[in-house]
């Protein structure tokens, strides 16, 4: 399947949030560096996957020392290889201190997952690349690609998120990423998963400096069952992303509008690398704290 005929789960997620960001990243191929908190999340995810691969292959989780070594080397390697994009608020701070704080947080989050989440998972698949066999909606020659992070025994698909804010059941119900995972699972096995689950790990902005700062896992979040009809509708919508990309690349349509209100969390220095050049960015509405 050629690259032009593929839409990834992450491309679709970007397209649903901001047309301008999608155009810059998936049509013009302009990607920015990650922020230090995004690098923290990427390092924690990489270590979680390594830990669960170990459990799948040998039945054993890694020891705490191995977890710490792995997450720290992932964190440092990402900074060294890919660089960091600091927000303007971070530029005014001591960046070495900031980097050390995020390294401490990445270590604590990886250990938290290893202690409170990983023991209850019986992974059957970890980080599996999937290319859909079924075409996307009306576009008969286009396909979905993506990576299924973790499949737990009993066909439960799991996704981990690390962030500074507690997630609600409402966040879980509206999570497009979880739908994407359900879709990838169905494309791979022919059956929708029994459930999809978000493992949310929270580190509040003041942890560990302030005694009121918190670091915790949210076991109370619900496991979702996503119906086939909803997945079919997503496939149709993903086909439209490929169709729009074709039109824009062929010069037959202008780039799509951004469709942001200025209050959306993703239209912020923390989550978008294009704020410095984007005419739609609303600095006044970017609290910097989201």
Q: Which residues bind ligand SF4 (CB under 6 A)?
A: 18, 20-21, 258, 260, 266-267, 272, 274-275, 278, 280-281
Which residue number, 151 or 267, has a Cβ lying nearer to ligand SF4? 267
- Rounded-to-integer distance, Cα 122 and Cα 59, Å: 9
- Rounded-to-integer distance, Cα 156 and Cα 73, Å: 30
Non-local CB neighbours of 183 within 8 Å, separated by 6+ positions: 9, 132, 144, 231, 234, 235
Q: Are 147 and 127 in contact (CB under 8 A)?
A: yes
Which residue number, 153 or 261, has a Cβ lying nearer to ligand SF4? 261
**3-state SS, one letter per residue, for 209-275:** CCCCCCEEECCCCCCECCCHHHHHHHHHHHHHHHHHHHHHHCCCCCCCCCCCCCCCCCCCCCCCCCC
Question: Residue 120 Cβ, how far from ligand SF4 at the closest point, in Å?
Answer: 36
Which residue number, 235 or 244, has a Cβ lying nearer to ligand SF4? 244
Which of 120, 131, 206, 204 shows the shortest CA–CA distance to 163? Answer: 204
Residue closest to ligand SF4 (Cβ): 278
Question: Residue 290 Cβ, how far from ligand SF4 at the closest point, in Å?
Answer: 12
- Rounded-to-integer distance, Cα 153 and Cα 122, Å: 5
Question: Residue 285 Cβ, how far from ligand SF4 at the closest point, in Å?
Answer: 10
Question: Residue 248 Cβ, how far from ligand SF4 at the closest point, in Å?
Answer: 15
Angular region, 60: left φ>0, alpha ψ -120 to 50, beta rest: beta
Question: Residue 37 Cβ, how far from ligand SF4 at the closest point, in Å?
Answer: 17
Which residue number, 233 or 285, has a Cβ lying nearer to ligand SF4? 285
Which residue number, 251 or 279, has a Cβ lying nearer to ligand SF4? 279
Question: Residue 267 Cβ, how far from ligand SF4 at the closest point, in Å?
Answer: 3
Which residue number, 216 or 280, has a Cβ lying nearer to ligand SF4? 280
Question: Residue 23 Cβ, how far from ligand SF4 at the closest point, in Å?
Answer: 8
Which residue number, 25 or 70, has a Cβ lying nearer to ligand SF4? 25
Residue 57, CA distances (Å) to 74, 111, 189, 226, 287 in order: 21, 20, 21, 29, 45
């Amino acid at each position: 399947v050629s690259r032009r005929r593929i839409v990834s789960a992450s491309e679709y997620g970007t397209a649903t949030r901001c047309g301008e960001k999608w155009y810059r990243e998936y049509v013009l191929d302009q990607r920015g560096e990650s922020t230090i908190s995004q690098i923290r999340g990427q390092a924690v995810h990489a270590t979680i996957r390594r830990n669960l691969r170990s459990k799948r292959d040998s039945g054993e989780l890694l020891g705490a020392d191995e977890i710490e070594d792995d997450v720290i080397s992932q964190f440092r390697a990402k900074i060294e290889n890919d660089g960091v994009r600091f927000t303007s608020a971070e530029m005014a701070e001591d960046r070495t201190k900031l980097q050390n704080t995020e390294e401490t947080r990445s270590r604590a989050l990886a250990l938290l997952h290893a202690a409170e989440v990983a023991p209850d998972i019986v992974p059957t698949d970890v980080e599996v690349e999937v290319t859909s066999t079924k075409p996307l909606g009306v576009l008969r020659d286009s396909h979905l690609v993506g990576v299924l992070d973790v499949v737990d025994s009993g066909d439960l698909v799991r996704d981990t998120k690390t962030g500074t804010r507690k997630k609600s059941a409402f966040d879980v119900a509206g999570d497009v990423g979880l739908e994407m995972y359900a879709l990838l699972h169905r494309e791979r096995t022919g059956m929708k998963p029994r459930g999809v689950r978000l493992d949310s790990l929270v580190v509040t902005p003041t942890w560990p400096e302030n005694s009121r700062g918190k670091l915790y896992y949210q076991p109370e979040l619900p496991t979702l069952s996503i119906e086939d009809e909803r997945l079919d509708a997503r496939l149709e919508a993903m086909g439209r992303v490929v169709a729009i990309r074709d039109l824009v690349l062929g010069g037959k349509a202008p780039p799509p509008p951004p469709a942001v209100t200025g209050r959306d969390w993703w239209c912020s220095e923390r989550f978008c690398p294009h704020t410095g050049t984007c005419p739609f960015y609303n600095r006044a509405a970017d609290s910097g704290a989201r």
